[in-house]
Structure 1
């Protein structure tokens, strides 16, 4: 079952990611195709969240890892601003930045897990202070940005239940049910209701589970290309699609 390394699975997720964003080019996809692609790609964000937890577990420096995510989030914020200002078309505005969401999730993990030892302060006081700091940061992380209400809880589940796989899977399914309940709404017609379920489909986080089982625990090739490919590919493909969309609107 565990047949693929992290790099291979990330490449597959990157291809799915492109499918999800093809509708950034106005008129390229029929509405039903765009909605269908949106549904089948709901596994992408939670899988990258899972891999971020794996990175957090195995990195040499958790703080540097977190800093790198925030750095690329900043780069993407700046790039989005530049592209949006250059194109100046509301329908082509890019506000995606999964790096920031992942960075906030890793920050929450760092606050909960960062080792603190002191001979002068009791462990109970340290725990109380940790909770006092960690809870508001975690709540903010869950509300901070794109998909954070889904991705951050998913990351917390994957980390704290990493050694209890069956309970982890149940928790992920419970998260899916809760998200479904929070987003489901009945509209005047069944067709509209289904379309809105497909649009508001972050509750499909459980679809990442099969890919998590395909992961063999190995990082894959350890090269500069494999390390930075996804940091570059994610913003680049969105900016390129926006530019293509702009060209098609003026031709």
Structure 2
């Protein structure tokens, strides 16, 4: 039976983008105490894009090309996150956003799973371990007095499970969305479990530590009808960094000239 109301992948992405803009308005103008609800609704965004990246990886005709776009986006954001604050310096706001790294690692593990299914065990296991091994020099030097800049630069070139936006749990959630993609109820159960884990099992501060609100991504995802909808291959790759840097620069001028 068809759903009376449903959403295509494109429409779900649009919902994610709208919520994402609100979340980043909150982030870039935190010094004026914007409504916390913007940040709360923003918790829904990453699960949406992890879900859609699992769908995109499954349906794409060229998985390596799909992954390479995410890696290039990761490099571009790292460069922008370094250059933009140099031109428009602010102590009140720090740019740390780079979801491309999270999405890339999630798809990398998906690619590794497919390699293992084809009994390419060495390739599959090596690709899964690579992002963990990349972080070892950083972790070793972090325990000393001075963090090695070489290890920091290495993480700018290739992301690690430990340093990407959302961390290991977000990568895991994306992979679970992929593994369970034909079992929607289990996908939502995985989202629920990850949401609970983000609380640290401390349920006394749910309104101050509200990362768990990512569970409400189940609402738009439950309406997904499996259809791609309108094509937008490059829209997110350009809009995501453009709106972050646009809001940051707007915040800079507001703080320095209009406030």
With normalisation by structure 1, the TM-score equals 0.81
Which shows bigger deviation, 133-142 or 98-107? Answer: 133-142
Deviates more, 1:160-169 or 1:140-149: 140-149
After superposition, the CA RMSD in angstroms is 2.4
Q: What's the offset of the Cα at 1:168?
A: 2.6
Distance 1:227 1:99 in 2: 14
Unaligned runs of 5+ in 2: 136-159
Question: What is residue 179 of structure 2 aligned with on the other side?
Answer: 160
Within 5 Å, which residues of 2 pair with 1:60-209? Answer: 60-114=61-115, 123=119, 126-127=120-121, 129=122, 132-133=125-126, 135-137=128-130, 141-181=160-200, 184=202, 193=205, 196-198=208-210, 201=211, 203-209=212-218
SS of residue in 2 equivalent to 1:181:
coil
Inter-partner Cα distance in structure 1 for 2:214 and 2:30: 27
1:6-58 deviation digits (Å, cap 9, x = unpaired): 1122112111111111121254444xx1x222112211111000000001000
Mapped to 1, the partners of 2:246 and 2:184 lie a distance apart of: 39
Structure 1 residue 239: Cα displacement: 0.6
Number of aligned residues: 227
Runs of 4 or more above 6 Å deviation: none
Please give the alpha-carbon distance, in whole angstroms, between the structure 2 residues aligned to 1:76 and 1:105: 18
Q: Of residues 19, 26, 29 in structure 2, which corresponds to 1:25? A: 29
What displacement does 1:88 show? Answer: 2.0
Which structure 1 residue ranges, 5 or more long, are not aligned? 118-122, 187-192
Moved more, 53-62 or 213-222: 213-222
Instruction: Tell me whether 1:3 sits opposite 2:6 in the alignment.
Output: yes
- The separation in 2 between residues aligned to 1:185 and 1:167, in whole angstroms, is 24
Between the aligned partners of 1:159 and 1:114, the Cα distance in structure 2 is: 14
More helix by share: 1
Shift of 1:115: 6.3
